[in-house]
Amino acid sequence: MKELVVISGKGGTGKTSLLAAFAYLAKEKVLCDADVDAADLHLLMAPRVLEKHDFESGHTAVIDKDRCTECGLCRELCQWDAIDETFVVDSIECEGCGVCHYFCPEDAVDFPLNTCGEWFLSETRFGPMAHASLGIAEENSGKLVSLIRQEGKKLAEEKGLNLLLTDGPPGIGCPVIASLGGATAVLIVAEPTVSGRHDMERVSELAAFFKIPAMVCINKFDLNPEEGQAIEAFARERDVAVLGRIPFDPVFTHAMVQGKTLFEFNGDSQGAVAVRKLWEEVSGRLEL
Amino acid sequence: MILSVASGKGGTGKTTVATNLALSLSGDVQLLDCDVEEPNAHLFIRPAIEDVQTITAAVPDVDMSKCTLCGKCGEVCQFKAILVIGETVLPFQELCHSCKGCIRACPEGAITETTRDLGVIERGRRNGVSFVTGKLRIGEAMSPPLIRAVRDFERPEGLTIIDAPPGTSCPVIASMKGADFVLLVTEPTPFGLHDLKLAVGAVSILGIPCGLVINRSDMGDDRVRDYAMEQGIPILMEIPFDRRIAEAYSKGELLVEALPEWKERFQALQQRIERLLDSGTVEEETSASE
């Protein structure tokens, strides 16, 4: 089985709209939304949830006032200043390291497991989908990303489907690193702006750091062709295949407003024509 | 005053708002780029960099000549960052959260502190604006400690504008906590609205007043406006889609320099925020204006 992860470094370059368009074009696949922090793919896929599970990960310290003698050791040891003068733990600041729990001489610090999100196995008009939502202000997004990709792979194996199409998170930190491990390839959606180029360079270095083959496409190419060409030059230097140029086309926004993929909204638009060509290139590279 | 510019969804225009606001105002203004995974503000501010420093995190170093393989270090570690394997102890420094629990747990004093590079902080100036940006090392997973290191440069006396990362998890919280006001930049699309709701949830957990900037305000539908009205969140500025704005942005030009009429609009935005904060809660201001 193969997995294509769509990432971008910079947010808002069109990852999810593009992945939804691929969902329409790809024949046999499972969809996976690994942007668990701000998951949007379900807005276009309208999944019918078949299974819903709690995501439990990490712990938070809770001080039991009855047992606490206010000796102050926990406040001294906490590296996050998460315990106030009244010996109440700020659950947002608490890193879940357990140092206060482990070293409290009175055994007054409880350390319950957190439920910090949910994950779902669903059916969509394009096939099965694994998706998740991290609770607001929660931690462990990297672990949820790893879990949902695993679940996506299991679904694909069960159903005998040979492709996992994964919508990745923005950035280059913990959730993105968790979305890369073991992927067949990443497709970087770049935007021809100075910031888009800067962010594409950093995320392609990240893919190289973890030795994941990378491909790039440039969205809204005609917005600034010079920046687009600079991205392509950088890509060629780093052996990153440049697979497509998509023109700026408001049809992406119009399709999104109606909750449709690009092809369901207008398959003849110039944006759709470019995405179809891009998918041929990508699926050729993946040997689908 | 600390003003954090956040969004939920990426690519909605946080950096545009943060940089242009900073460069429109006079007085003691500081701009902190806390989107340390993909920092972009420096591309627009183009500051003269005066200082670069490496930021590190504390991680364990084990002296095997003192270690008795008792395993207490691995027992206390919640992050599987130190393990006794066979006849040795393996610290996995990239997994370490720097809680120092293993150092304290070791009965032999065999564990000392060494460091892992998180990234760098660069400081500089442009016109009157003092600028600080963090850049996460490629391959480093944990951005919150670097974000906190950037925020250590906050000066309480003037105005501090924070360019926050997208999302709603720990890096965003680290960039909003303690702010006096959060400016949420969104776009009027289904993705914009969905992620805005998450961001509003994060802001309300922290108990910080917030207001909206709607970018590309004529490109989607009315659901973001309806939601803002329903929730009593004031819309403080709208930026219509304008190909000239998009092209200036693509070249790394500041909006207030490419299209100077925007300078007054950003000044007006700041005045609206100050009025909201002076008049007490945001809710009171909204109901007063209705």
Kindly write down the DSSP assignment for every residue of B192-257, as one continuous string: HHHHHHHHHHHHHHHT--EEEEEESTTSS-SHHHHHHHHHT--EEEEE---HHHHHHHHTT--HHH
Closest CA–CA distance from residue B191 to any residue of chain A (Å): 6
Do the beta carbons of residue A162 and residue A1 sit within 8 Å? yes
Q: Which CATH architecture has domain A2-56+117-285?
A: 3-Layer(aba) Sandwich (3.40)
B221 interaction partners in chain A (CB closer than 8 Å): 257
Question: Is B39 in contact with A9 (CB distance < 8 Å)?
Answer: no
Contact A166, A130 (CB under 8 A): no
Q: Name the segment(s) of chain A with CATH classification 3.40.50.300.
A: 2-56+117-285
Q: How far away is chain A from the Cα of B201, in angstroms, using its nearest Cα?
A: 7
DSSP string, A52-71: EEEEEEEE--EE-TTT----
Instruction: Please report residues of A whose CB lies closer than 8 A to that of B34.
Output: none
Choose from A97, A116, A189, A265 for mutation: most chain B CBs within 10 A. A97
Considering only CA atoms, which of B152, B157, B116, B159 is closest in space to residue B134?
Answer: B152
The bridge status of strand A2-7 relative to strand A185-190 is parallel
Of A11, A97, A134, the CB nearest to B97: A97
**What's the confidence (pLDDT) of residue A139?**
84
Chain mean position to CA A246: 22
Rounded to a whole number, what is the distance in Å from the CA of A209 to chain B's nearest CA? 7
What's the alpha-carbon Rg for chain A, to the nearest Å?
22
Q: Which residues, 6+ apart, have CB-to-CB distance to A210 below 8 Å?
A: A177, A180, A181, B139
What is the pLDDT at residue A137? 86
pTM of this structure: 0.95
> What ipTM does this complex have?
0.96
pLDDT-based confidence at residue A138 (cuts at 50, 70, 90): confident
Question: What is the identity of the amino acid at B149?
Answer: A
Residue B279: its pLDDT value, please? 87
CB-based contact A37 B76, cutoff 8 Å: no
Distance CA A29, CA A160 (A): 9
Q: How many CB pairs under 8 A join A and B?
A: 183
Kindly identify which residue of chain A lies nearest to residue B250, measuring between CA atoms. A193
Question: Percent helix, strand, coil in chain A (nearest 5)?
Answer: 40, 25, 35
| Pairwise CA distance, residues B106 & B60, whole Å | 11
* Mean pLDDT confidence for A13-34: 97
Question: How much is the mean pLDDT over chain A?
Answer: 97
Contact criterion met (CB below 8 Å) for A114 and A46: no
Q: What tokens appear for B246 in the block?
A: 């998009």
Nearest Cα residue in chain A from B81: A97
Between chains, do B191 and A256 touch, taking CB under 8 Å as contact?
yes
Look at B168 and A194 and tell me if their CB atoms are within 8 Å: no
Nearest-CA residue of chain A relative to B254? A194
Sheet holding A48-59, edge to edge: A48-59, A113-124, A127-134, A30-33, A163-167, A2-7, A185-190, A214-218, A241-245
d(CA B40, CA A13): 14
pLDDT (mean) for A210-219: 98
Give the max Cα distance, chain A.
72
Average pLDDT per 10 consecutive residues for chain B, totaling 290 residues: 96 98 96 98 97 98 97 97 94 97 98 98 95 98 97 95 95 97 98 97 96 96 97 97 95 96 97 92 43
| The predicted structure's pLDDT at residue B285 | 43
Mean pLDDT within A32-50? 97
**Section A90-112 average pLDDT:** 97
Q: What is the pLDDT of residue B286?
A: 45
What pLDDT, on a 0 to 100 scale, did the predictor assign at position A36? 96
A138/B169 Cβ within 8 A: yes
- CB–CB of A37 and B168 under 8 A? yes
Cβ of B250 within 8 Å of Cβ of A102? The answer is no
Q: Which two tokens stand for residue B159?
A: 């105005």
Best CATH choice for the domain A61-111 from the list 3.40.50.10680, 3.30.70.20, 3.40.50.1110, 3.40.50.10540: 3.30.70.20
Instruction: Give A141's contacts in chain B (Cβ within 8 Å).
Output: 167, 169-170
| A114 backbone φψ class: left, alpha, beta (φ>0; ψ -120 to 50) | beta
* All domains of chain B in start order, with CATH: 2-31+159-289 (3.40.50.300), 64-109 (3.30.70.20)
> From A195, which residue of chain B is nearest by alpha-carbon distance?
B40
Query: Over 90: is that where the pLDDT of A16 sits?
Result: yes
* A232 membership: H or E segment, kind and range: helix A225-237
Q: Nearest CA to CA, how far is B35 from chain A (Å)? A: 9
Residue B136 phi/psi, 5-degree rounding, is -65, 135
> What's the confidence (pLDDT) of residue B290?
35
